[in-house]
Copies of this chain bind each other. A is one copy, B any other.
């Protein structure tokens, strides 16, 4: 083919297409076997040099050329070969008649999923900015696309904010080169543009669709077949979806959980599932450490002090590291009106909150403040579906590969909270398959209680994982540690009861129930294990065993009382409301479950409050099916 024929559009012999590269096209836009329009820009002994675009040039060797050429002549060529040094060789294509079709530069995107394969090559990426961290050197933009989140380093001047207009939440197109940097892939930014208008809308929609698809929880079959659980499953999936989404959006997650056995059986699996999912999604190897934090809480609700502390940390992390404010996940805690002040405080900073709990909820009080709320009471189920049971499934929805490590956990959770769920047998069997007989499970539960007490506000990650045998690497240690902690715990319970039992006051109520009272301030050791709640519970259990139902046990201190009952139809929340109204200046508050709970009052009204309480209890109906087996918070 010569310039002449190429130049003649007149011929009618077909729809031959010749491609015309736009000036910004690169060698990547040239495809094998396609005819391109070229212009001769140099003539040498051994051939002619042609330009296909501003940056695409190559040689057409004289051996494949016919006729003569002048600089500026057009020529239709095909790619012949790419030499090792990147030079291109073309050969003429004989087309008599053709239509020109412009080819734009393919700004096709390299997803974060393919970065390892493009190390050192310039790529393009579109995504949402999830974090903007100014370092002493470059500005680091964390960008989330359909596949993951990658740090992109843009250097303006040391310590000077690059692209100062770009903010978290913007949709950007990044051109840059993936490099290994401190164990992670990072993109060295050549250019970064915020998408606007339609482009942004399209990208946002595409990213949102992808995010939504990827946030979708894994469809795992529950570990056991349990109709009661099925009712909560959609709610739990919603939480899994939210958490996965937070990870994909690069938002930190803060887990606050009840510091007892069930609470830890709930929080640890979710923590580890999230850590593993974060590691998959984020190129930054420190992401699992930076993006999730687990914090035990002693109080049975989210205290203002904890909330202000959480908020402070969050605001500091935003200030120092450009992090988004966190997502708060409350586990085995958080369903009641007492949580409202803390929630409202966080709401002012747009911190979303999800709750998975099995304590008696005040749905009308919290619902507006929560992004998701899982609680068996919302589905006519009760505390017997423990938070640990729920969260093992939640962890699996987040990261199903974790399943193998979690089969024994629901049984531990159930025993910790004395769940009488009909599913307990199945859970015990499942645990037995993993080598956990009931004694050992009971030991794990008591070891957790004991460790939680001494750890106080510390998450004690490795220690708790060793006790739970989740993400733990030394089976022998697990065994010995569980045995030792469980035994120590039991010994200390025995010591506490040795002191307390002789001071137990007994009376038989009008309704025939045994009432036991113990002054835990004066007749139990203070500030040591077990705390008043557990001390009361242990006394209660012994008395049931000794006397059979019905039994009520009250452990009281200067300004609080812990209540447990079996076989009596109490309605503690209602009793608390009545006492609050009846006893002026009593400062009565509290609640809990129907038949188990705690009451607070002002010290000076203790006797009056407790006497009134006992009167109410004496009027309650006997119902041997009722049990206070649920957890009592210390």
* Neighbouring B residues of A519 by C-beta, 8 Å: 604
Which chain A residues in 515-538 approach chain B with CB under 8 Å? 519, 521-526, 529
Q: Is A477 engaged at the interface, CB distance under 8 Å to the other chain?
A: yes
A348 within 8 A of B: yes
Q: Does chain B have a CB within 8 A of A308? A: yes
Interface string of A446-465 (1 = CB under 8 A from B): 00000100111010111100
Other-chain contact of A500, B307, B454, B526, B585 (Cβ < 8 Å)? B585
Contact A308 B158 (CB under 8 A): no
Distance of A481 Cα from B307 Cα, bound (Å):
14
Closest chain B residue to A483 by CB distance? B348
Closest CB of chain B to A314's CB: distance in Å?
9
Q: Chain B contacts of A182 at CB under 8 A?
A: 135-137, 158-159
The reply to whether B348 and A480 form a contact with Cβ atoms under 8 Å apart is: yes
Chain B residue with Cβ nearest A159: B183
**Chain B residues with CB below 8 A from A477, complex form:** 348-349
Which residue of B is nearest A341, CB measured? B488
Q: A308-B455, A525-B587, A585-B501 are in contact. Are A159 and B136 (CB under 8 A)?
A: no
Cβ of A559 and Cβ of B526 under 8 Å apart?
yes
User: Is the CB–CB distance between A586 and B499 below 8 Å?
Assistant: yes
How many Å from the CB of A490 to the closest CB on chain B? 12
Q: Do the beta carbons of A285 and B526 come within 8 Å of each other?
A: no
Chain B hits for A319, CB < 8 A: 462
Q: A321 interface residue, CB < 8 Å from B?
A: no
- The smallest beta-carbon distance between A517 and chain B, in angstroms, is 13
> At the interface, yes or no: A193 with Cβ under 8 Å from chain B?
no
**A181 beta carbon closer than 8 Å to chain B:** yes
Q: Are A499 and B602 in contact (CB-based, < 8 A)?
A: yes
Complex Cα spacing A160 to B481, Å: 32
Asked if B455 and A312 make an inter-chain contact with CB atoms under 8 angstroms apart, the answer reads: yes
Residue A309 lies at the interface, judged by CB distance under 8 Å to chain B: yes
8 residue pairs, one from A and one from B, having the closest CB atoms:
A159-B183, A136-B182, A499-B587, A502-B585, A522-B604, A315-B462, A522-B603, A308-B454
Which residues of A line the B interface, CB within 8 A?
A: 134-137, 157-160, 180-184, 285, 304-305, 307-309, 311-312, 315-316, 319, 341, 344-345, 348-349, 451, 454-456, 458, 460-463, 477, 480-481, 484-485, 488, 495-496, 498-503, 519, 521-526, 529, 559, 584-587, 589, 600, 602-605
User: Given known contacts A160-B183, A309-B458, A348-B484, what 7 new A-B pairs fall within 8 Å (CB)?
Assistant: A134-B183, A137-B182, A305-B456, A315-B462, A316-B461, A495-B589, A523-B603
